[in-house]
Amino acid sequence: MSSPSVVSMDRAASPDTELLTPNASVPTPSDGAHPAGEKGASPSENGATSSENGATSNAATGDDGSSLVTEPATRRKAAPRVKKTASSASTATRPKRASRKKLEPPPSTIATLPPAPLTRPDGTPAPVVHLAGELSPYARTGGLGEAVASLAKYQAASGIPVTVFMPLYSAVRERTEVRPLGPEFTVSVGPRTEKARLYEPATPHQPGNPRIVFVESEAYFDRPGLYGDDLGDYPDNARRYAFFARAILVALPRVLAQPPSIVHAHDWQTALASIYLKTEFAAHPYYEGIRAVLSVHNAGYQGHFPESTMADIGLPFSLYNHRQLEWWGRVNLLKGGLVFSDLVVTVSPTHAHELRTEKGGFGLDGVFVALRDRLVGIVNGIDQEIWDPARDTIIPRRYSPENMSGKKRNRLALQRATGLSRWQAPIFALTARLVAQKGLDLILGDPGYFAFDAQYVFLGHGDSRYELALTELSERAPSRIAVKLDFTEEFEHLLLAGADMCLMPSQYEPCGLTQMRAQRYGTIPVARRVGGLADTIEDGVTGFLFDDYTPADFMHAATRAVDQYHDPVAWEEMMREAMARDFSWERSASRYLNVYRRVLGLPAIRHDRPVAVGV
């Protein structure tokens, strides 16, 4: 571990800890020392976006020395390339929004629980609590909700007692029957006292599944969007997620009689939990042994707010300094979460390295460097029961590496669904938010790309300029270019089962899930060598990678893919190789288990003694 730096500060007592249990009187936190942060570097060319929602590292090993990156199943030589052909690719449709169904928690996948793999010193199971701004299938805007749900699922199935907290958004109420969990209680957020109440799914919790708890506040969460609306981010997002974090910490003793061993926050929306936990709440015996872990799924979104936010969310102004929450004259909630967490995880070893660089650190590279071995990278997994073409009940025809005939039938179904009519030309697919991060400028930046003798399907919505540009292209070439702006999971399954290649020319990609799903379906990724894409695609073996974020380098990779496609034997070998790769969450969850064991064996960051921060 890195050598410690010591900083102290004063902290006023909070009334929240008086509300820990319905009938208990407890002492309020006392003043004490708090951990220091690290000065962030100046904003890089890939600095954090104005909207706050949306090479292998040395830290890429577990405490047992094992690699934290999913290893390829096998390695083979790249297939020979063939001459390329030229030309290009179907209709823009905006289908009606599908009616929402009431969702139930997934059934338990095990009959009896195995022995707990994570235990306290007395041998009892060590509970884990996740805090997430979104969670699949209840409400999500991207990969975060799916990643948290999958991690919690596999942790619970392994025998770890897991509870996941998320806000009770209006979208959750529309899709899920819920029931109250205990009475209403109060939470102080800065100068205000708010009302909160907990809910849970109406279907009884089943052993072997994570327990789901929703935090209700009609004022904060009963809104059309999760983080914002058509006008942008909600202006009170700092207050909303401060309430969420504080309500959970206040409610923990109501939900868990014994304190959890780990509170695991995800992204800036829940990073405040680490800050509150390690300051005012740390004075209470219930919280003093809890370790704080923070996962950074996308460091491009950091939670930037005005200086006045400190008082509004109940943080002492003494924390507003360059080592803790101040960042270029703004409050930076992600930075504060990094500083106050016992350990930080990002979603691939390569991305952990990138975050330590000026180009890839989004202005926080100094903080990530200072974390040293407190920052590790673990590739997310995918649910290989859901994303398995041999068992997929959504696609028209199932198939496997042993029998690939179903792939052709799905290809025909995709063409019929989108109006594509070039039967022999390869199909390029992109399923993503239509934003700059996903490489849309590369795709639209070289007219020669659409000159390939190929077809193109774009699934997703995002920035209006990209939606408009792609829609115009599809209107000009409806038999070769299709755009579907309304995302549905059902169509994504068909798209990955029917397409030949998956486009991911991202500016940055912390982990990415689509490239793993695509490989499982024998759909070959064409991607930039960044983040999790570099860790999960083997160039020339399971996909095609390029380095420079330029149209020319992207075109070179796309040309390689088209050349390979016209060698049927080599292409089928590549498909089979990709489909054989193991991207299971079991592998990723085992690496998280190593991280948890490691952090439980370390001294916790404490408010009442000198603090090891890593400088």
* Higher-confidence position of 75 and 497: 497
Q: Are residues 375 and 444 in the same domain?
A: no
In a domain, 609, yes or no: no
Q: What is the pLDDT of residue 291?
A: 96
Q: What is the pLDDT of residue 141?
A: 82
Q: Are residues 455 and 558 in the same domain?
A: yes
Q: Radius of gyration over alpha carbons of the chain, in Å?
A: 24
Q: Are residues 256 and 366 in the same domain?
A: yes
Mention every residue, 6+ apart, whose C-beta is less than 8 A from residue 28: 13, 14, 15, 17, 18, 283
In a domain, 344, yes or no: yes
Q: What is the pLDDT of residue 427?
A: 98
Q: Are residues 551 and 592 in the same domain?
A: no
* Higher-confidence position of 326 and 607: 326
Mention every residue, 6+ apart, whose C-beta is less than 8 A from residue 438: 430, 432, 462, 504, 505, 506, 507
- Which secondary structure element, helix H or strand E, spans residue 444, and what is its range? helix 440-445
For residue 511, the Cα-to-chain-centroid distance in whole angstroms is 8
Q: Are residues 247 and 288 in the same domain?
A: yes
Which of 8, 11, 6 shows the shortest CA–CA distance to 315?
A: 11
Instruction: Write the CATH number for 159.
Output: 3.40.50.2000
The number of distinct structural domains making up the chain is: 2
Mean pLDDT of the chain: 84
* Higher-confidence position of 101 and 415: 415
Q: Are residues 559 and 594 in the same domain?
A: no
Q: Are residues 148 and 231 in the same domain?
A: yes
End-to-end Cα separation, the chain, in angstroms: 10
Q: Are residues 448 and 435 in the same domain?
A: yes
Q: Give percent of the chain above pLDDT 90.
A: 71
Give dist(CA 552, CA 146) in Å, integer.
Answer: 34
In a domain, 203, yes or no: yes
This prediction has a pTM of 0.79
Q: Are residues 429 and 543 in the same domain?
A: yes
pLDDT surpassing 60 at residue 89: no
**Across 88-97, 219-228, 313-322, least confident range:** 88-97
Q: Are residues 409 and 270 in the same domain?
A: no
Q: What is the pLDDT of residue 232?
A: 87
pLDDT surpassing 70 at residue 419: yes
474-504 pLDDT, tens digit each: 999 999 999 999 988 899 999 999 999 999 9
Q: What is the pLDDT of residue 129?
A: 98
527-567 pLDDT, tens digit each: 999 999 999 999 999 999 999 999 999 999 999 999 999 99
pLDDT tier for residue 586 given thresholds of 50, 70 and 90:
confident
pLDDT surpassing 80 at residue 177: yes
Give dist(CA 135, CA 126) in Å, integer.
Answer: 22
374-395 pLDDT, tens digit each: 999 999 999 899 999 999 999 9
pLDDT surpassing 80 at residue 437: yes
Cβ atoms within 10 Å, residue 106: 15
pLDDT tier for residue 105 given thresholds of 50, 70 and 90:
low
pLDDT tier for residue 286 given thresholds of 50, 70 and 90:
very high
Q: SS in 3 state form for 464-488?
A: HHHHHHHHHHHHHCCCCEEEECCCC
In a domain, 234, yes or no: yes
pLDDT surpassing 70 at residue 458: yes
The CA angle 154-158-160, to the nearest 5 degrees, is: 95
In a domain, 447, yes or no: yes
Q: What is the pLDDT of residue 103?
A: 52
- Tell how strand 185-189 and strand 192-201 pair up: antiparallel
Give dist(CA 599, CA 615) in Å, integer.
Answer: 18
Task: Write b or e for each residue in 172-205: b if 16 or more Cβ atoms lie within 10 A of its Cβ, otherwise e.
Answer: bbebbebeebeeebebbbbeeebebbbbbbeeeb
Backbone angles phi, psi at 452, to 5 degrees: -60, 150
Tokens, residue 422? 């070039």
Report the pLDDT averaged over residues 42-61. 40
Backbone angles phi, psi at 240, to 5 degrees: -60, -50
Q: Give percent of the chain above pLDDT 70.
A: 79
Tokens, residue 240? 């909303």
pLDDT tier for residue 114 given thresholds of 50, 70 and 90:
low
**Across 20-24, 225-229, 528-532, least confident range:** 20-24
Domain of 413 in residue numbering reads as: 405-583
168 neighbors 199 (Cβ within 8 angstroms): yes
pLDDT tier for residue 609 given thresholds of 50, 70 and 90:
very low
Mention every residue, 6+ apart, whose C-beta is less than 8 A from residue 223: 169, 170, 229, 234
Backbone angles phi, psi at 457, to 5 degrees: -130, 125
User: Where are the extended beta strands (E) located within 161-210?
Assistant: 162-167, 178-180, 185-189, 192-201
550 neighbors 441 (Cβ within 8 angstroms): no
pLDDT tier for residue 106 given thresholds of 50, 70 and 90:
low
Report the pLDDT averaged over residues 185-191. 95
- SS3 label, residue 502: strand
pLDDT tier for residue 570 given thresholds of 50, 70 and 90:
very high
Largest CA distance in the chain: 78
In a domain, 458, yes or no: yes
Give dist(CA 281, CA 263) in Å, integer.
Answer: 13
* Lookup result for tokens 């909070």: 14
Q: Are residues 260 and 319 in the same domain?
A: yes
- SS3 label, residue 74: coil
Give dist(CA 113, CA 104) in Å, integer.
Answer: 21
Q: Are residues 218 and 204 in the same domain?
A: yes
* Higher-confidence position of 493 and 36: 493
pLDDT surpassing 50 at residue 316: yes
In a domain, 507, yes or no: yes
Q: What is the pLDDT of residue 212?
A: 97
pLDDT surpassing 50 at residue 37: no
In a domain, 22, yes or no: yes
The CA angle 571-574-575, to the nearest 5 degrees, is: 90
pLDDT tier for residue 112 given thresholds of 50, 70 and 90:
low
Q: What is the pLDDT of residue 120?
A: 86
